[in-house]
């Protein structure tokens, strides 16, 4: 029997949901609004909301001063590359953990997750030295490797939980049908886990895109992604709020748009396995 919900109740729920949604979205909205203000209006007290002289000046200044496309391209390569590489390594790893678990599989999974509990700054020094020795400083390749390693535990964990949902029988049937291990993973496991793999990819692109600690510390000019682009506009005196906002808007726009179009997959990915 369906639960009866009165119209009044529905209205209240809708209003509350919108209020919470707006509250969460407000900082982003404020950043976008500020990016269209002049520097003076941006720091006006009391702050102005909608009624100011809208201007695109900040965007043109930002574009003049720094090459947005180069940062964007670096972000795409670093986020995309680290995710792709991570998936290639994590699919076989998660396959073996889900379908041929050993005595220590659970421990390995927990240990992998525990590496995420270590504050990144704790290993900054050794990794920085390693990067110098290997000549990886300020290289996109170096960042792809580091971000892949940082996010690998999450990728393996997510894929592991998706793979666990796939009945073992089906993989055994593939084996009986003459499939090699490669064919089994390629033709049976991967297509069946595709929704899960897709949401893992999405989440990891977002994580890598927004990662600021390593990208800021290990790059200078050549490999600097959009996070460095934003940082270059922040100054301790806070005099250039409008330009900083414009830079931020430009940096988050691509990932925001991607997230908007793939929200179905994202939500499915996050609730996958909760209900049969």
Partner 1 sequence: MGSIRLEKVNKSFGDVTVIPSVDLDIKDGEFVVFVGPSGCGKSTLLRLIAGLEDTTSGHIYIDDQDATDIPPAKRGLAMVFQSYALYPHMSVYKNIAFPLKMAQQDQATIDKKVRGAAEVLNLSDYLDRRPGQLSGGQRQRVAIGRAIVREPSAFLFDEPLSNLDAALRVNMRIEISELHNSLETTMIYVTHDQVEAMTMADKIVVLNAGNIAQVGSPLELYSRPDNLFVAGFIGSPKMNLLDGEVAAKRDAATIGIRPEHIRLSKDSGEWQGTVNVAEHLGSDTFLHVRADGIGQVTARVDGEFDVHHGDTVYMTPEPEKIHRFDAGGLALR
Binding interface with partner 1 (CB under 8 A):
167, 169-170, 172-180, 183, 187-188, 191-192, 194
Residue 90: CB minimum distance to partner 1, A: 21
Nearer to partner 1, 139 or 183 (CB): 183
Structural contact between residues 46 and 237, judged by C-beta atoms closer than 8 angstroms: no
Residue 143: CB minimum distance to partner 1, A: 35
Residue 183: CB minimum distance to partner 1, A: 6
Nearer to partner 1, 43 or 179 (CB): 179
Residue 77: CB minimum distance to partner 1, A: 31
Nearer to partner 1, 4 or 169 (CB): 169
Say what angle helices 57-65 and 241-261 make with each other, to 10 degrees.
Answer: 90
Length of the chain: 276
In sign, the C-alpha dihedral spanning 158, 218, 244, 239 is positive
Nearer to partner 1, 192 or 258 (CB): 192
Residue 182: CB minimum distance to partner 1, A: 11
Nearer to partner 1, 163 or 229 (CB): 163
- What is the Rg, in whole angstroms, of the alpha carbon atoms belonging to the chain? 23
């Amino acid at each position: 029997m369906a639960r009866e919900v009165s119209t009044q109740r529905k209205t209240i729920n809708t209003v509350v949901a919108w209020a919470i949604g707006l509250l969460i979205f407000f900082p982003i909205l404020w950043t976008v609004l500020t990016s269209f203000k002049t520097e003076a209006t941006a720091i006006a007290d009391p702050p102005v909301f909608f009624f100011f002289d809208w201007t695109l000046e900040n965007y043109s200044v930002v574009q003049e001063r720094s090459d947005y496309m180069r940062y964007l391209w670096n972000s795409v390569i670093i986020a995309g590359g680290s995710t792709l590489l991570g998936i290639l390594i994590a699919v076989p790893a998660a396959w073996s953990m889900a379908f041929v678990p050993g005595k220590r599989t659970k421990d390995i999974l927990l240990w992998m997750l525990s590496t995420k509990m270590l504050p990144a700054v704790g290993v900054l020094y050794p990794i920085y030295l390693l990067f110098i020795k290997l000549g990886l400083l300020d290289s996109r390749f170096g960042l792809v490797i580091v971000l892949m390693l940082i996010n690998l535990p999450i990728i393996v964990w997510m894929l592991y939980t998706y793979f666990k949902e796939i009945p073992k029988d089906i993989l055994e049937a593939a084996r009986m049908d003459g499939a090699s291990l490669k064919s089994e993973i390629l033709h049976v496991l991967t297509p069946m886990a595709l929704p899960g793999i897709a949401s893992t990819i999405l989440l990891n692109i977002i994580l890598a895109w927004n990662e600021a600690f390593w990208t800021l510390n290990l790059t200078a000019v050549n490999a600097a992604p959009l996070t460095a682009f934003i940082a270059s506009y922040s100054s301790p005196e806070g005099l250039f709020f409008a330009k900083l906002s414009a830079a931020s808007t430009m940096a988050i726009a691509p990932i925001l748009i991607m997230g908007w179009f793939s929200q179905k997959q994202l939500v499915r990915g996050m609730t996958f396995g909760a209900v049969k």
